[in-house]
């Protein structure tokens, strides 16, 4: 079942039952107001028994009636342009056709599995709304916005065990939603509506009001409907003496959010999703290793082990994807013909099968209890860091030492690579350099939160080396794959194609090594001094 996406930008107001909608054609940019249109809507909202989605300000509903009947998934709100009380709420909304009642479309479920974590969704509330819509148009006939005058009757539905139902509520609210207008409309509209007796809504959504704040708590958090989403990134305490654990929390929170965001993208097989989740996983592993002495050993070791497991699952399809893209390009350079065509067909079969199998294993793992508990553990680390009981040292000092230690490890790898024997030993040594450069980059990124320009320069220098040696490693992997695919039984044209591809990888390896030596020389003094 196909789904479509849109961006909803709106502002809600509580209003008394006797209030009158004020004249709206006097608002800036509004030339006329359409005739009021009334519709009866009925929506059934779905969530887990403990309201895991509502606790994160996510709503999932099936609505009948009106012009947008169907399944609606509203994801956590983002800030939108606006000022003061007129600040609107901006949310990404995903629509799917009505389909079968009670059967949530897979295209919507995939987007919330990271938050459901294996739990089933069930009907939790039914809302019946009598909506009168006032359409606002500009002088050029553009549909700017809609003001919906909603009279709502809400009912909590009983849970699977038969409890928790009843508790009917009735209220009225006004909802101003942009169509083709811009956010500058909200401030004057807000003044007009407040003057008519409205006030900014005390609830984030109709579902939040229907369930009530106490219903939105989770077993681990007592979070009301209008609190920030669980995956929000905390702010770093101001000043140069921010504790080291706070620096790690802020950096890790950004990576956890990225991981959760990419969960849905992987399930939906969107481009670059595996790469982006893998990058977030690597960053988390790097900072947990670099700052591990700040925390109790057991929980951090478990997190690192589980992130390694996830990283390995992500690595198989990602590596195959990179090789496929690389060799497809090189084969295109050879043009058409019996040899390139045969080599291309074999590559697609072999590397493509590796990619498909790896992606299937990844998606299967992402449906397991082990994966969901990893997500729990990451959020627990973010929300309740297992810091040691000793006094936490200042972040600037700890971050600087972490960067210098990572830079020292990279210098050792450089020396080992320069003395390694040609061939497999040298290739493995350069791969070690690449991995250490990547770790230095991640640690320097975390230090940049408080160390600023110096740490950013170190991160960029490490990234340059990582990228160059990444190209080198990709050429090594492509060479080995090609060597394994070549056969004595291949006819001359095919053998020539493989020989040309192999020669190309050798050339790219040589070019990458030359670039690496240049980049290393350029950044030698910087990486030696670190950020202290």
Of 417, 413, 407, 470, the closest CA to residue 439 belongs to 407
Report how far residue 123's alpha carbon sits from residue 525's, in angstroms, rounded to the nearest whole number.
62
Residue 145 burial class via C-beta count within 10 angstroms: exposed 0-12, middle 13-18, buried 19 and up: buried
Total Cβ atoms within 10 A of residue 429 = 19
φ, ψ (nearest 5 deg) of residue 181: -85, -175
CA-to-CA distance for 35 and 19, rounded, in angstroms? Answer: 19
Domain spanning 244-529: CATH 3.10.20.600: no
Do the beta carbons of residue 91 and residue 59 sit within 8 Å?
A: no
- Are the beta carbons of 383 and 257 closer than 8 angstroms? no
Give the separation between CA 170 and CA 424, rounded to whole angstroms: 73
The strand pairing partners of 15, in sequence order, are none
**Beta strand 4-14 with 199-200: parallel, antiparallel or unpaired?**
antiparallel
Residues 90 and 8 sit within 8 Å (Cβ to Cβ): yes
Distance, CA of 193 to CA of 394 (rounded, Å): 49
In this predicted structure, what is the pLDDT of residue 1? 53
Distance (Å, whole) CA 337 – CA 56: 56
- HEC profile of 362-425: HHHHCCCHHHHHHHHHHHHHHHCCCECCCCCCEHHHHHHHHHHHHHHHHHHHHHHHHHCCCCHH
Cβ neighbours of residue 466 under 8 Å, at least 6 residues apart? 434, 437, 438, 441
Q: Among the CATH numbers 3.40.50.2020, 2.40.320.10, 3.20.20.80, 1.20.1260.10, which is that of 4-216? A: 2.40.320.10
pLDDT for res 100: 84
Look at residue 378 in the predicted model and tell me its pLDDT. 98
Q: What's the token pair of residue 210? A: 């229907």
Instruction: Kindly give, in sequence order, each residue whose CB lies less than 8 Å from that of residue 64, ignoring residues fewer than 6 positions away.
Output: 41, 42, 43, 98
To 10 degrees, the CA torsion angle through 459, 464, 469, 470?
A: 80
Helix spans in 145-296 (H): 186-195, 206-211, 244-267, 273-290
Domain ranges for the chain: 4-216, 244-529
With tokens 């579902």, the residue in question is: 207
Give phi and psi for 515, each to the nearest 5. Answer: -65, -40
Beta strand extents in 161-204 (DSSP E only): 166-178, 199-200
Give 43's strand partners.
63, 127
Distance between CA atoms of residues 206 and 225, nearest Å:
10
pLDDT at site 236: 60
The CA R_g of the chain, rounded to the nearest whole Å, is 28
- The residue assigned the tokens 């291309």 is 344
What gap in Å lies between CA 523 and CA 319, rounded to an integer? Answer: 28
> DSSP label at 496?
H
Would you say 414 and 434 are in contact if contact means Cβ atoms under 8 Å apart?
Answer: no
pLDDT at 69 (0 to 100): 94
Phi and psi at residue 105, to the nearest 5°: -60, 140
Cα gap 291→13, rounded to integer Å: 47
Q: What is the pLDDT of residue 233?
A: 62
Q: Which residue in 266, 3, 235, 34 sits closest to 147, CA to CA?
A: 34
Q: Which has the closest alpha carbon to 466: 529, 404, 520, 419?
A: 520
Given a cut of 70, the residues of the chain with pLDDT beneath it are 1-2, 78-87, 161-166, 213-241, 391-392, 488-490, 529-532
């Amino acid at each position: 079942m196909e789904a479509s996406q849109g961006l909803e930008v709106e502002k809600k107001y509580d209003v008394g039952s006797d209030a009158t909608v004020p004249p709206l054609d006097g608002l800036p940019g509004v030339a006329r107001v359409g005739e009021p249109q009334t519709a009866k809507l009925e929506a059934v909202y779905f969530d887990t028994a403990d309201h895991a989605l509502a606790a994160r300000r996510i709503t999932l509903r099936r609505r009948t009636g009106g012009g947008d009947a169907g399944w609606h998934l509203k994801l956590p709100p983002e800030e939108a342009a606006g000022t003061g009380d007129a600040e609107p709420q901006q949310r990404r909304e995903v629509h799917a056709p009505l389909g079968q009642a009670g059967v949530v479309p897979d295209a919507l479920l995939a987007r919330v599995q990271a938050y459901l974590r294996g739990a089933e969704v069930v009907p939790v509330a039914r809302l019946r709304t009598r909506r009168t819509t006032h359409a606002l148009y500009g002088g050029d006939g553009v549909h700017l916005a809609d003001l919906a005058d909603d009279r709502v009757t809400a009912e909590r539905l009983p849970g699977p065990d038969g409890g928790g139902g009843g508790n009917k509520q009735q209220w009225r609210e006004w909802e101003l939603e942009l169509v083709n207008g811009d956010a500058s409309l909200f401030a004057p509209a807000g003044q007009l509506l407040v003057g008519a007796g409205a006030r900014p809504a005390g609830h984030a959504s109709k579902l939040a009001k229907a369930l009530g704040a106490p219903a939105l708590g989770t077993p681990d958090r007592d979070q009301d409907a209008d609190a920030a989403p669980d995956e929000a990134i905390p702010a770093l305490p101001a000043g140069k003496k921010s504790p080291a654990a706070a620096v790690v929390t802020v950096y890790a929170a950004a990576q956890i959010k990225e991981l959760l965001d990419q969960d849905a993208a992987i399930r939906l097989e969107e481009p670059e999703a595996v790469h982006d989740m893998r990058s977030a996983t690597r960053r988390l592993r790097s900072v947990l290793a670099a700052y591990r002495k700040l925390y109790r050993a057991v929980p951090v070791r478990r997190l690192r082990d589980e992130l390694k497991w996830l990283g390995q699952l992500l690595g198989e399809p990602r590596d195959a994807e990179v090789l496929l893209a690389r060799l497809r390009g090189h084969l295109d350079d050879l043009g058409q013909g019996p040899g390139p065509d045969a080599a291309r067909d074999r590559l697609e079969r072999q590397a493509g099968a590796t990619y498909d199998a790896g992606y299937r294993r990844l998606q299967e793992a992402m449906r397991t209890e082990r994966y969901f508990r990893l997500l729990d553990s990451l959020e627990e680390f973010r929300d309740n860091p297992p810091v040691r009981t000793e006094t936490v040292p200042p972040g600037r000092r700890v971050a600087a030492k972490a960067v210098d230690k990572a830079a020292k490890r990279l210098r050792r790898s450089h020396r080992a690579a320069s003395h390694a024997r040609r061939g497999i030993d040298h290739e493995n040594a350069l791969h070690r350099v690449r991995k250490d450069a990547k770790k230095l980059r991640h640690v320097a990124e975390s230090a940049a939160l408080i160390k600023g320009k110096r740490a950013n320069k170190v991160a960029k220098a490490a990234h340059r080396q990582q990228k160059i040696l990444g190209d080198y490693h990709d050429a090594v992997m492509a060479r080995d794959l090609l060597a394994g695919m070549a056969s004595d039984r291949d006819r001359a044209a095919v053998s020539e194609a493989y020989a040309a591809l192999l020669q190309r990888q050798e050339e790219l390896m040589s070019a990458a090594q030359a670039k690496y030596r240049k980049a290393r020389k350029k950044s030698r003094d910087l990486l030696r001094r670190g950020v202290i």
